[in-house]
Structure 1
Amino acid sequence: MTDPSGFLFVVPPFTGHVNPTVPVAADLVARGHRVAWTGVPGTVEHLLPFDAVFLPATSSEVTSYAADMGARRSDLRGAAAFKFLQEEVLLPLGDAMVDGVDAAVEAFGADVLVVDQQALAGAVVGRRRGLPWATSATTSAELVDPLSGLPRVAEAMHRRRVELQVAHGIAPEAAEAGDLRVSEHLLLAYTAAELVGPLAIDSPVTFVGPSLGDRPEEDDFPWDTLDADRPTVLVSLGTLNAEAGTRFWQVAADACRDQPWQAVFVAPPSLVPDRPANVVVRPRVPQLALLQRVDAVVSHAGHNTVCESLAAGLPLVLAPIRDDQPVVADQVVQAGAGVRVRFARVRAEELRSAISTALTDEGLRAAATGIAKSFASAGGAAAAASALVELARP
């Protein structure tokens, strides 16, 4: 094998952006390489293997700030939510993390940085140090230019990313030429070209499909409550949106009531006070294991949940809320693997009809199965690890 290298994963404080890195890191370790993570303390460590090396890049005050900003953006939609995420969360977080990421590189002895698209500090440090770095694209929205219809907003965001680089010692001309969201060395996309559609970036993209592997999952799910003879639907709004879905959960409960299918809601039980008999409500679930037991998924169109569902060949009902979710939902609909409803306005009868379609429409299931095959052929975590090892070669 090649000489062992040190790979430092730079991640934001969001579950869906950390989870895909864990199987990739496991594959790198199996090949004899060193791995570590750096990010916001208190938000990442519990998602990692018990023996993982984690180097904090910020203080506990930043942890509180990130949580507060995430809560404040819960009522925003569309371009306003995207702009808020960039200006009030990702850019300040990037600025706060640069020195800590730089210290982590030094302490760990990193040879390669694996930088999530929303952890801008990693890209700044990689460019400033001249280290090889890869973009870890845990959402496909940035690959298709979500602000194409808002050129002034796009230009303003570009200017802010240039200013961030210059503030941390990168020459203005170099900062202007580069994009912190897109590495000039390697861009790993945890999806497939068949789902994303036409790209809006010039850099080559390495599509590896979902990174699943043996991600650790707590499993206290009451499996004996599911009837093996009834269709099952998983309903999830992801880790950041469950509390914002008070109205949606009631609509979903009414949609499922007295239906021939059963459902698993990933929500705080307090948000489903009038739970139908055919609905199981759990604050958390072993999602990868559950996806092997269900027949369709209702989702907020979070990239990880979408790709994990499609990897299992499952049709989707999509109720996007904000940020990249409308873009991801449109990709699934265009690929023929799902139907879309309005998160804030959907009625019970509309959601019931969409779920019924997802469970019975053979066209949707065939499209989902086709995407699952393209995901499998992309190689997943092993393909991502191989690309990173190649990047580390002298």
Structure 2
Amino acid sequence: MRVALLTTTQHGHLNPYVPVVNALRRAGGEVTLLLLSADGGALDEQRRRALGGAPVHLVGQVEMAPWSGDPARIGPMLRSSPVADQTTDTLRAIAPDFVLVDSLPVTASAMVGTHASGVPYGMIWANLGGVCPREHRRGRWAYDEQVGDYLTGHGVAWSTRTHSARSSILNLMPTIPALVGHDAVTDDGVQLVGLPGAAGERGDEVAFGDLARLDPDRPVVYVSFGTIFYRRPDLLRTVIAGAVKTGAQVIAAVGDLAEELALPDEVLTAPYLPQRAVLERADVFVTHGGYNSVAESIRAATPMLVLPLAVDQPVQAYFVERAGFGTALEPTGVTEQTVADALTDLLDPAGDHLARLRAARPECGDSAARTAELVVGTVGTLPRKGQQ
């Protein structure tokens, strides 16, 4: 069984998909990782080691900025992108039995190339957009509609109910019913496979000795806006100051902004943190709502304050509030006091957020292992080459 997995170089996509590659390899598959370099990103040696020697092919370049710019430029950009042809050529050269495509707007050209290659393919998501009803994606409609027109014009199926792509063979959503509930659109063949973020090497592990400095008798608030959207120093400074007001110990991932933020010495910071370990110690997580962060917080049973900054993050914020796993604030107009008030509520032991999260833990599962199981089963049902 030869499988290709296509995604981007972003942390938010490599983190859930490195374990998928390894789960497929443990299941006996020969797995190739096909990468779109996002804003010039590349695999470092730590990531390559985590992949255990799986071959990696760069199939093209994508830029993130246009997806927050003028929506009218998206259609022409997709139609002129060389990524579709590059993806087709790569797949025909390596000739896998099946391709699992990370479904998001920035990979749309690669979806078209996969479809054109003739290789059977399925879709998997690294956010909740694939099951989110369209009424909660209003802010993305101008982008989504152009993506939909582009994909359907090349034969790729499109769900108008969620504004996302679909495969006729396999559609996998790494989430759980406790998070998405009855609001999720799954009656068109989407299967829920558990949460990302289970134990296992991903190639992003770092040390953070300051965890040992924490007072076990005081609450901990962890702040992170991820690896792409963190560059908002004024907002980050305000959020951290609001967290300090609660009297909690504060840990923050700040990228390269530490000097600019000029934070009090009591705030523990690092450019990048071992998030799964920090969440196990934290009492509340202030997050931008990236899906890996949300999933890891649920696994750790850590309530969330979500400040959605862009793209799919309002979708995650909606589902976190719907599930009672936390609360959300619009970033515009946020003050130290509104953050402090929201955190005080989430830190209150009489609240029910923690109980809801703990009740959801048995559903979490291992999305990578379940994904591998379903891919292996799907490949087993496909016609053998030469019999199509």
How many angstroms does 1:127 deviate by?
Answer: 2.6
**Which residue in the other structure is 1:27 paired with?**
23
**Which residue in the other structure is 1:17 paired with?**
13
Kindly indicate whether the alpha-carbon contact (under 8 Å) linking 2:88 and 2:113 is maintained by their aligned counterparts in 1.
Answer: yes
What letter corresponds to residue 306 of structure 1 in structure 2?
V
**Which residue in the other structure is 1:168 paired with?**
none
> Aligned residues, how many?
362
How many angstroms does 1:203 deviate by?
Answer: 2.1
**2:149 paired residue among 156, 159, 180:** 159
**Deviation by residue 1:334-367 (Cα, 9 ceiling, x = unmatched):** 1111011121211101101211222224301111
**Deviation by residue 1:84-115 (Cα, 9 ceiling, x = unmatched):** 796587x369x432222223223433111010
Kindly indicate whether the alpha-carbon contact (under 8 Å) linking 2:298 and 2:361 is maintained by their aligned counterparts in 1.
Answer: yes
How many angstroms does 1:384 deviate by?
Answer: 0.9
Q: Distance in 2 between matches of 1:193 and 1:381?
A: 17
**Which residue in the other structure is 1:208 paired with?**
193
What letter corresponds to residue 54 of structure 1 in structure 2?
V
Kindly indicate whether the alpha-carbon contact (under 8 Å) linking 1:113 and 1:122 is maintained by their aligned counterparts in 2.
Answer: no
Structure 2 residue 375 is the aligned partner of structure 1 residue 373:
no
Q: Distance in 1 between matches of 2:110 and 2:100?
A: 8
What letter corresponds to residue 288 of structure 1 in structure 2?
R
Aligned counterparts, 1:1-394, within 5 A? 5-41=1-37, 42-46=40-44, 48-50=47-49, 51-58=53-60, 62=61, 66=63, 69=66, 73=68, 83=71, 87=75, 91=78, 95-118=81-104, 119-146=107-134, 153=142, 155-163=145-153, 165=154, 174-175=155-156, 181-197=165-181, 198-200=183-185, 202-212=187-197, 213-214=199-200, 215-222=202-209, 223-243=211-231, 245-257=232-244, 259-267=246-254, 268-270=256-258, 273-361=261-349, 362-376=351-365, 379-393=366-380, 394=382
Which consecutive segments of 4 or more residues in structure 1 shift more than 6 A?
176-180
Kindly indicate whether the alpha-carbon contact (under 8 Å) linking 2:244 and 2:250 is maintained by their aligned counterparts in 1.
Answer: no
How many angstroms does 1:68 deviate by?
Answer: 5.1
Kindly indicate whether the alpha-carbon contact (under 8 Å) linking 2:289 and 2:308 is maintained by their aligned counterparts in 1.
Answer: yes
CA 1:274/1:260 → structure 2, altered by over 3 Å: closer, same or farther? same
- Give the root-mean-square deviation of aligned CA atoms: 2.8
SS of residue matched to 1:239: coil
**Deviation by residue 1:94-148 (Cα, 9 ceiling, x = unmatched):** x432222223223433111010112224432343233221111111123123457
Kindly indicate whether the alpha-carbon contact (under 8 Å) linking 1:6 and 1:111 is maintained by their aligned counterparts in 2.
Answer: yes
**Deviation by residue 1:356-380 (Cα, 9 ceiling, x = unmatched):** 222224301111222332223xx42
Q: Distance in 1 between matches of 2:363 and 2:243?
A: 32
Q: Distance in 2 between matches of 1:200 and 1:85?
A: 29
CA 1:156/1:380 → structure 2, altered by over 3 Å: closer, same or farther? closer
SS of residue matched to 1:349: helix
With structure 1 as the length reference, what TM-score do the two structures score? Answer: 0.82
How many angstroms does 1:260 deviate by?
Answer: 2.8
SS of residue matched to 2:33: strand
Q: Distance in 2 between matches of 1:356 and 1:250?
A: 18
List runs of 5+ in structure 1 lacking aligned partners: 166-173
Kindly indicate whether the alpha-carbon contact (under 8 Å) linking 1:253 and 1:272 is maintained by their aligned counterparts in 2.
Answer: no
Kindly indicate whether the alpha-carbon contact (under 8 Å) linking 2:156 and 2:167 is maintained by their aligned counterparts in 1.
Answer: no
SS of residue matched to 2:342: helix
Query: Which stretch shifts more, 327-336 or 193-202?
Result: 193-202
Q: Distance in 2 between matches of 1:252 and 1:176?
A: 41
Could you say which structure has the higher helix fraction?
Answer: 1
Query: Which stretch shifts more, 348-357 or 138-147?
Result: 138-147
With structure 2 as the length reference, what TM-score do the two structures score? Answer: 0.84
SS of residue matched to 1:238: coil
